[in-house]
A and B are shown apart, each in its own frame.
Chain A
Amino acid sequence: MLDDRLPLNVSDFLALSRQAKRQDLQHWLQRLGIEQLQRQSVHRLSGGEWQRVLLARALLNQPQLLVLDEPVQGVDVQGQMELYELIPTLRDELGCAVLMVSHDLHLVMAATDEVVCLNGHVCCSGHPDQVSIDPAYLSLFGRQPTMAPYTHHHDHAHCLDGHVEPVQVNGGQS
Chain B
Amino acid sequence: MTLPWWSAALAAGILLAIMAGPLGSFVVWRRMAFFGDTLAHGALLGVTLGVLTDIDPLLALVLGCVVLALLLLPLQRSSRVSSDTLLGIVSHSTLALGMVALSLAEGIRVDMMGYLFGDLLAVGQRDVLWMALAALVVCALLAWQWRGLVAVTVSAELAAMDGYPAQRLNVLLVVLLALVVALAMKVVGILLVSALLIIPAATARSLASTPVQMALGAIVIGVFAVIAGLLASFYWDTPAGPGVVVAAASVFVVSLLRRPVAS
- Number of chain A interface residues as a range: 20 to 34
Contact with A along B144-179 (1 / 0, CB 8 A): 000110110111001101111000000000000000
Q: Which listed residue, B158, B159, B162, B210, touches A7 by the CB 8 Å rule?
A: B210
Give bound CA distance, A61 to B148, whole Å.
Answer: 15
Contact with B along A104-138 (1 / 0, CB 8 A): 00000000000000000000000000000000000
Question: Are B150 and A16 neighbours in the complex by a CB distance under 8 Å?
Answer: yes
Per DSSP, chain A at the interface is loop
Chain B residues with Cβ below 8 Å from A40 are 263
The residue in chain B whose Cβ has the minimal distance to the Cβ of A44 is: B262
- Judged by a CB distance under 8 angstroms, whether B208 is at the interface is yes
Chain B residues with Cβ below 8 Å from A9 are 209-210, 263
Question: Are A17 and B211 neighbours in the complex by a CB distance under 8 Å?
Answer: no
Question: Are A13 and B263 neighbours in the complex by a CB distance under 8 Å?
Answer: no
- Number of chain B interface residues as a range: 20 to 34
How far is the CB of A21 from the nearest CB of chain B, in Å? 13
- With A6-B29, A7-B263, A9-B263 known as contacts, the answer to whether A16 contacts B151 (CB < 8 A) is yes
8 A Cβ contacts from A1-45 to B: 2-3, 5-9, 12-13, 15-19, 39-41, 44
24 contacts across the A-B interface (CB closer than 8 A): A5-B31, A7-B208, A7-B210, A7-B211, A8-B211, A8-B263, A9-B209, A9-B210, A9-B263, A12-B210, A15-B147, A16-B151, A16-B154, A16-B162, A17-B162, A18-B147, A18-B151, A18-B163, A19-B162, A41-B209, A41-B263, A44-B262, A57-B158, A61-B161
Contacts from B to A (Cβ < 8 Å): 28-29, 31, 147-148, 150-151, 153-155, 158-159, 161-164, 205, 208-211, 213-214, 261-263
